[in-house]
Amino acid sequence: MMRSYKFRLYPNKSVEEKLEESLELARLAIQPIAGGNKQGEERRKKNNPEAHTTQALIVKLKEEEKPELKKVYSKALQMVNYQLCYGAM
């Protein structure tokens, strides 16, 4: 059985800015990871996730195309990848 918890946060201004920046960068990473809306939708319909392939794409994005993604906590980007591959979005 899996448990989930909810916590209410009251971040100060600097933490709030960092959170917003991380969310925006993660949002920008979705399109290249998904490979376009049509391909991503087809992959979800087929239930054929390619998590290892898209995970490697995140590393490539961070090194070559979008070095600003290095500011985002790696687990957050992995979660974006998981949600795209397993249709949780």
pLDDT score, position 6: 92
pLDDT score, position 8: 92
Whole-model pTM: value is 0.58
In the block, tokens 């974006």 appear at 80
Distance of CA 77 to the CA centre of its chain: 4
Spans in the chain with pLDDT lower than 70: 35-52, 87-89
Crossing angle (nearest 10°) for helices 74-85 and 13-34: 40
